[in-house]
Amino acid sequence: MEYTQLGRTGLKVSRLVLGTMNFGPQTDEADSHAIMDAALDAGINFFDTANVYGWGENKGRTESIIGNWFAKGGGRREKTVIATKVYGNMDADGATVWPNHDKLSALNIRRAVDASLKRLRTDHIDLYQFHHIDRSTPFDEIWQAIDVLVQQGKILYVGSSNFPGYKIAQANETAARRGGTIGLVSEQCLYNLAERRAEMEVIPAAQDYGLGVIPWSPLHGGLLGGVIKKEVRGGRRSSGRTADTLKDPAARAQVQAYEDLLDKHGLEPGEVALAWLLTRPGVTGPIVGPRTAEQLQSALRAVELELGEDLLAGLDEIFPGPGPSPEAFAW
């Protein structure tokens, strides 16, 4: 496994991030523990979760599964950089019956941290991430709450998720003016070959402010994982967003061209999609969310892939990025 520093920090993390969103809803606790053990054995030390994972009446279940794994000992907690998130409403039915039970008020941040620590069965969170922007709460209030938690030793670093570029700038300029915490050190965003809009402003902002970029949905919901090949070989039908996308003839032709290109090179689509992200400026590592141990092994092979210039050019031709702003939309 390769390691890199998370943004401008001294924290060393693996170039693949283990996503845990499937733990609970799709993968039971025993299998989840086996996947985490296998990830740690392979050198993956960066695990990502969120307080709402588990979903519905089981919100928080994923953090509890991870906490039970930590409790097994064997250096599991000490070897793991654990990242979780705050923002979503934790009521079981998702309805905001009472105010102050979601978003980024100082009150909710305080409550959410303590609840996550309890479920994770740990005394601190390595990377605490804002799951979404909160248009109602000023960053002065957010950073005041974070300063207290850092001083208490409950969190070490802070990151954002799904932030636009201007909010990354606002957050870190406010932190710099206050002179407390070092501000955001990472941004977790939707970024992959088929969805490159983050290259316009989010990734440049992250680079300018020294944030590590952590792409989520690196296979774009399975679209980049050889979906057409799987349909042809095994009769497996696509579902959800992937199926809707493939109904568009132009999008289907684009995915087919992608798979044909990789067939010529003898490469697996899902592994190339991950390996491509590892070549991108500013990317710390993509989040992989395996439901099985076999899917984890496939993701691990991506770290070893070296993509040649001709292949990279071919990928750019099929999935051209928008380019940086303002050129992307102004000229």
Q: Could you state, in order of their start, the residue ranges of all structural domains in the chain?
A: 3-222+269-308
The predicted structure's pLDDT at residue 93: 64
pLDDT of residue 108: 97
pLDDT at 193: 98
Report the range of poorest mean pLDDT among 58-62, 149-153, 220-224, 240-244.
Answer: 240-244
- Collapsing DSSP to helix, strand or coil, 1 comes out as coil
Residue 244 pLDDT greater than 90, yes or no: no
| 143, amino acid identity | W
**For the segment 137-190, what is each residue's pLDDT rounded down to a tens digit?**
999 999 999 999 999 999 999 999 999 999 999 999 999 999 988 999 999 999
Q: What is the pLDDT of residue 223?
A: 96
In degrees and rounded to multiples of 5, residue 293 shows phi and psi of -65, -35
Is the per-residue pLDDT at 94 higher than 80? no
Is it the case that residue 272 has pLDDT exceeding 60?
Answer: yes
Q: Residue 1: which of 289, 323, 320, 300 has the closest Cα?
A: 300
- CB burial of 37-60 (b: ≥16 within 10 Å; e: otherwise) equals ebbbebebbbbbbbbbbbbeeebb
65 pLDDT tier (thresholds 50, 70, 90): very high
pLDDT band at 233 (very low <50, low <70, confident <90, very high): confident
Mean pLDDT of 310-331: 94
- pLDDT > 80? residue 238: no
Of the pLDDT bands very low, low, confident and very high (cuts 50, 70, 90), residue 32 is very high
Look at residue 309 in the predicted model and tell me its pLDDT. Answer: 97
Q: Residues with catalytic annotation?
A: 53
Query: Which CATH topology does 3-222+269-308 take?
Result: TIM Barrel (3.20.20)
What is the predicted pLDDT for the residue at 126?
A: 98
